[in-house]
Amino acid sequence: MSETPASAPTEEKLPTNEMIKVIDYITISKSANWWTAVVLAGEEGRKKVMLYMWNKRGDKWSRKQKFTIARKADWAKYKEAIEKLLEKVD
């Protein structure tokens, strides 16, 4: 499968480690120096969702953050906690 989603056919290749088998991704935001994307990766039966943030220095992207969600049950807990805290944000 291609790393380029249908919504962004001209998007450059994600700067993930070559060992990561990218199935699909969605760019959340991208500027000249920062790129944030949600990535679906893995192989049949062992898929996971990862949130990445990269910073560009010169002409090279460098990973700054990565958060992996491997189970739907985990996501429910994260989502509930995040929504509770977001209620306190103006």
User: What CA–CA distance (Å, rounded) separates 2 from 79?
Assistant: 29
3 has pLDDT over 70: no
21-66 confidence digits (pLDDT tens)? 999 999 999 999 999 999 999 987 899 999 999 999 999 999 999 9
